[in-house]
Amino acid sequence: MTTTSSLNQVDLEAVGALAGKVQQDPAAGQTRWAANVHWTGAFRSESQVRSFPPAASDEPAGLGGSDTAPNPVEQLLSALGNCLAVGYAANATAAGIEIKDLDIAVDGDVDLRSFLGLAPGHAGFSAIRVRVDLDTDAAPEAVAQLHRKVAASSPVGHTLQAAVPVEITPGS
């Protein structure tokens, strides 16, 4: 199947140029990403990423917040879904698969007892589930291969599945 630079609205030339650059110079593939978060009162904060407007964070009223924005665990689930959406767009386009529609539902389980200091244990997600609804005319075998490739190459998915060192240090 032949692909064009307009399939799924993905700029294949830009992606291909990046892949070629990283293939020739693996050091070019080593990137660093950053966000700065500023507390704005109570359980509210804002994250600043590059030159984008700040993204708000808050807790639901049932957790003591004012419910003005998604909370951090919802943002993490959103990050996983967004990362998978990028993976589907990139990999489907590279495979010549047209995406008619794509919906990704992500949910997970958190036991608040550890977070609240009421019990020892893991304060994070104990399970995360993802359901991908992909509308395409591609053959079932091609869709299955696409699902496998996206799951195997998601940076956020891999981060959540592996123990990643996190260093939290006090500032000045």
Residue 2 located in a structural domain: no
CA distances (Å), origin 56, targets 69, 70, 111, 153: 6, 7, 24, 28
Question: Which of 49, 69, 89 is the C-terminal boundary of a domain?
Answer: 69
Nearest to 147 by CA among 2, 19, 139, 20: 139
Q: Which amino acid is at 94?
A: A
Instruction: Name the pairing type of β-strands 101-110 and 125-135.
Output: antiparallel
pLDDT, one tens digit for every residue, the chain (172 residues): 444 557 899 988 888 898 899 999 999 999 999 999 999 999 999 999 999 999 999 999 999 999 999 999 999 999 999 999 999 999 999 999 999 999 999 999 999 999 899 999 899 999 999 999 999 999 999 999 999 999 999 999 999 999 899 999 998 7
One domain for residues 149 and 83: yes
State the pLDDT at residue 1: 47
State the pLDDT at residue 123: 92
Both tokens of 37, joined, read 């978060």
One domain for residues 156 and 94: yes
Local structure of 140: helix, strand or coil: helix
Number of domains in the chain: 2
Which range marks the domain in which residue 127 is found? Answer: 71-161
pTM of the model: 0.90
Residue 41 located in a structural domain: yes
Residue 12 located in a structural domain: no
One domain for residues 151 and 77: yes
Residue 124 located in a structural domain: yes
Both tokens of 56, joined, read 């708000």
State the pLDDT at residue 3: 45
One domain for residues 135 and 79: yes
